[in-house]
Structure 1
């Protein structure tokens, strides 16, 4: 199960990078959000604090960016 989440999250993040690269910024955020939440779940399941930390920081940055968007 965790392997499925890990690979799904990785594919979602690649989708986010691809969308960003091709200028589809509207699509990038949902892809990144799915990847971020997936990897956060994996980090928690593995009890890997480094993975959890980086994805909590990324989530905070995304939410801050959304909240301050004009």
Structure 2
């Protein structure tokens, strides 16, 4: 048996990452059910949280891809209106 100090510690970034994943999956489900704009709002929250993960990890690639995803959703939403 491992000592209690050897147990993996849940970091804030892990919590944010898993919440973001759950929200993104929820957004995909809303898209599959054609629930608009609820799906867009779910994706926007997920994008924001993944951007935060990129900041916490100091990972510019994650930040850039989610800025691109945000802009794509924003322009698509504005053009659909």
How many equivalent residue pairs?
Answer: 70
Q: Tell me whether 1:18 sits opposite 2:5 in the alignment.
A: no
Shift of 1:26: 2.3
Bigger radius of gyration: 2
Aligned-residue CA RMSD in angstroms? Answer: 1.1
- 2:17 aligns to what? 6
TM-score when normalising by structure 1:
0.90
Q: Which has the higher contact order (CA 8 A, sep 6+)?
A: 1
Structure 1: state its 5+ residue gaps: none
Structure number with the higher helix fraction is 1
Give every structure 1 segment of 4 or more consecutive aligned residues whose post-TM-superposition deviation is greater than 3 Å: none
2:79 and 2:33 mapped to 1: Cα distance? 24
1:24 and 1:66 mapped to 2: Cα distance? 14
TM-score when normalising by structure 2:
0.79
1:26 and 1:68 mapped to 2: Cα distance? 13
